[in-house]
Amino acid sequence: MRTRVHRPELITKVNVTPIIDVALVLVIILLVTAPMMSVSNLPVDLPQAKTREAEDQRNVCITISASGEIAVDDRTVGTVGLEPALALRLAEPGNHDVLVVVRADQGVPFATVRHALDEARAAGAKRLAIATRQRGGEHR
């Protein structure tokens, strides 16, 4: 009688679990050390900043085009009619403490923007802001 010898089955697949573990540890080390390598060694006292996540949607917008045309929200007004139109808009119910945003073309002289801010103050605006475009990661 012949006895069968049980042979162990050959392992033909590569076990990738240890490779994945090592790769993940290397990625974690890279993520932790990368911010440290991009900072300069110069001593710097950084200023504190307070950012706003989101303003409420009830804003009053003063828009100044490159040609000098002025609009309050969607109504075009002249330079003389800015204060009365804005005062009328701020007198509406619920607009007492609304944020007034000045949106001016970058070619508009600052004196015009300053005049619009002064008119907004005279109309009774308590909170003012100047709209800007956020930089897309470029550094100057």
Look at residue 1 in the predicted model and tell me its pLDDT.
Answer: 62
Q: How confident is the model at residue 53 (pLDDT cuts 50, 70, 90)?
A: very low
Q: How confident is the model at residue 118 (pLDDT cuts 50, 70, 90)?
A: very high
Look at residue 3 in the predicted model and tell me its pLDDT.
Answer: 72
| Ranges of each domain in the chain | 59-130
Task: State the chain's mean pLDDT as an integer.
Answer: 76
Look at residue 105 in the predicted model and tell me its pLDDT.
Answer: 81
- CATH number of the structural domain 59-130: 3.30.420.270
> Maximum distance among all alpha carbons in the chain?
116
CA distance 113 to 121: 12
Q: Quick one: average pLDDT of 45-69?
A: 63
Closest CA relative to residue 128, chosen from 50, 48, 55, 51: 55
